[in-house]
Structure 1
Amino acid sequence: MIQVSKLLAQGAGLAPVLLKRAASVTLDWDTRQKSRFQVTDSQGRELGVFLPRGTVVRGGDVLVAEDGSLVRVVAAPQALLRITACTAHGSPFDLVRAAYHLGNRHVQIELKPDHLKIEPDHVLADMLRAMHLIVNAVEESFEPEAGAYAAGGHGHAHAHDHGHEHSHGHSHDHAHDHGHKPAAKKTIAIQAAATPHVHGPGCGHDH
């Protein structure tokens, strides 16, 4: 097994020709948010990745192996919910409200100018539709926003190398809840439902 302990964010400083020749690994978000994992690259080599605690690997980053070889990281497509504003019944500000409510529940969110992406959760999907937003299931790469206090670009406890098969374990009850009905929070918090049947007609009304 080849050890990897160095990461170049987005291949900084490397010539394009070197990146083109490099091996690659395709990793989902659950793996990329860990600082220690094992993976097989496109050349069939077994890699043992040991990065500093709290490091998050993003699509486009480059791993540097102990033998000096380079390994490009590709963010794997995975099941996600894409959230967009309903032009018929809402406004782009609805996305801001959605981001606030999701963030208040410690949900990891990828922020885009015209949409949000989160991991599948039927409870949150229903909540978002009730806010007049469009929620669709997609298969895309996931690059959630890093927390403001993140070490190495990730602020949630997921930087700890837990072995959960789902990466949205946000049921931890932090003090940010300010005492407002903790039992209700547990009910609405992310549950283990990764259902693909989340498409809804129109803008999510009458569900």
Structure 2
Amino acid sequence: MVHCQAITGSDESDIPDVVRPQKDGDQGTCDISGMFPDGCLRPSWRGGYSYQMLQVSKLLAQGQGLASVLLKRAASVTLDWDTRQKSRFQATDSQGRELGVFLPRGTAVRGGDVLVAEDGSLVRVVAAAQPLLRITPCTTHGSPFDLMRAAYHLGNRHVQIELQPDHLKIEPDHVLADMLRAMHLIVNAVDQAFEPESGAYAAGGHGHAHGHGHVHGHGHGHGHQHDHGHEHAHDHGHGHAHDHSHAHGGSHAHAHAPAPAAVVPAPGRKTIAIQSAPAPHVHGPGCGHDHGHDHKH
């Protein structure tokens, strides 16, 4: 971590052209004309041209895990959405300290979040009031369903929207305002805090990440696989395969039933016996027919 030297002077002629960061080996210089390559930000010169910048690189969403007494004692910083949606920015807290905020890329700061400075101090974030359009359904010519339609059309235009049960909020845009009014919605200009919806796959899913790891999908996975294959393979073919000719007297021919069909197991499934159609007549003991011939088995 790099800390910039404090610089003091009575006038601008005392301000050096470069600020040398203090780190191992004292290597490298920082150009004060812009963002410093080693983590130092553009200095702000106040009374005596003293430069102080407190680096912040940690955020606690909604102050999670902090005691309420610590939050009450913490300094605060008021930021509009344009600043809070950035992961790197400068700000001044309620104690007059200059903050250089370096959060992981893609991080959005929300009202109620707590920044943790490099010295361990806490800074509570307040969402600043800003000009917005507040959208509500018309009770005379419309219905609450109109809000859903409006959210669809705004989202289709990639507009950032704050979603509430009874209204929507967007940043000012007269073209969108006219479109919404044509949809029988009431559009009013307000000055309020803006907390637009995060993307569905945004890191952290601010405020709505339930974290139960309970993915509702097909194959919900409760494992109730009711495979009641009872395999009652009642193969009652008694096996009298008469492999010979019967010279039936009385000139009536009884056709012997063909052998039962072979059982072919389905791939990956249990074997199920398949019976052939019942034979018209099967000759055997107790058949009741006096065939008047000898069976040569």
CA distance in 2: counterparts of 1:150 and 1:124, whole angstroms: 25
What amino acid is aligned across from residue 108 of structure 1 in structure 2? Q
Is 1:90 paired with 2:142? yes
Once the two structures are superposed, residues 64-122 of structure 1 have per-residue CA deviations (whole angstroms, 9 ceiling, x without a partner) of: 00000000000000000000000000000000000000000000000000000000000
| TM-score, L = length of structure 1 | 0.73
CA distance in 1: counterparts of 2:90 and 2:140, whole angstroms: 47
Is 1:77 paired with 2:129? yes
Residue equivalent to 2:78: 26
SS in 2 for 1:18: helix
Residue equivalent to 1:142: 194
Aligned length: 154
Out of 136, 141, 166, the position equivalent to 1:114 is 166
CA distance in 2: counterparts of 1:45 and 1:137, whole angstroms: 33
SS in 2 for 1:88: coil
Residue equivalent to 2:95: 43
SS in 2 for 1:146: coil
Is 1:10 paired with 2:10? no
CA distance in 1: counterparts of 2:204 and 2:68, whole angstroms: 25
What amino acid is aligned across from residue 148 of structure 1 in structure 2? A
Q: Which has the higher contact order (CA 8 A, sep 6+)?
A: 1
The 5 Å alignment of 1:118-197 reads 118-153=170-205
CA distance in 1: counterparts of 2:87 and 2:162, whole angstroms: 20
The 5 Å alignment of 1:98-109 reads 98-109=150-161
CA distance in 2: counterparts of 1:33 and 1:151, whole angstroms: 13
SS in 1 for 2:123: strand
Alpha-carbon offset, residue 149 of structure 1: 2.1
Alpha-carbon offset, residue 150 of structure 1: 1.6
Structure 2: gaps of 5 or more residues: 1-52, 207-297
SS in 2 for 1:14: coil
Determine which structure has the larger helix proportion and give its number. Answer: 1
CA distance in 1: counterparts of 2:90 and 2:141, whole angstroms: 47
Once the two structures are superposed, residues 105-150 of structure 1 have per-residue CA deviations (whole angstroms, 9 ceiling, x without a partner) of: 0000000000000000000000000000000000000000001122
What amino acid is aligned across from residue 104 of structure 1 in structure 2? N
SS in 2 for 1:97: helix
Alpha-carbon offset, residue 151 of structure 1: 2.7
Determine which structure has the larger strand proportion and give its number. Answer: 1
Contact 1:4 1:50 in 2 (8 A): yes
CA distance in 2: counterparts of 1:104 and 1:92, whole angstroms: 19
Structure 1: gaps of 5 or more residues: 155-207
SS in 1 for 2:91: strand
Structure with bigger gyration radius: 2
Residue equivalent to 1:67: 119
CA distance in 2: counterparts of 1:59 and 1:126, whole angstroms: 30
CA distance in 1: counterparts of 2:202 and 2:75, whole angstroms: 29
Q: Percent identical across equivalent pairs?
A: 90
What amino acid is aligned across from residue 48 of structure 1 in structure 2? G
What amino acid is aligned across from residue 26 of structure 1 in structure 2? T
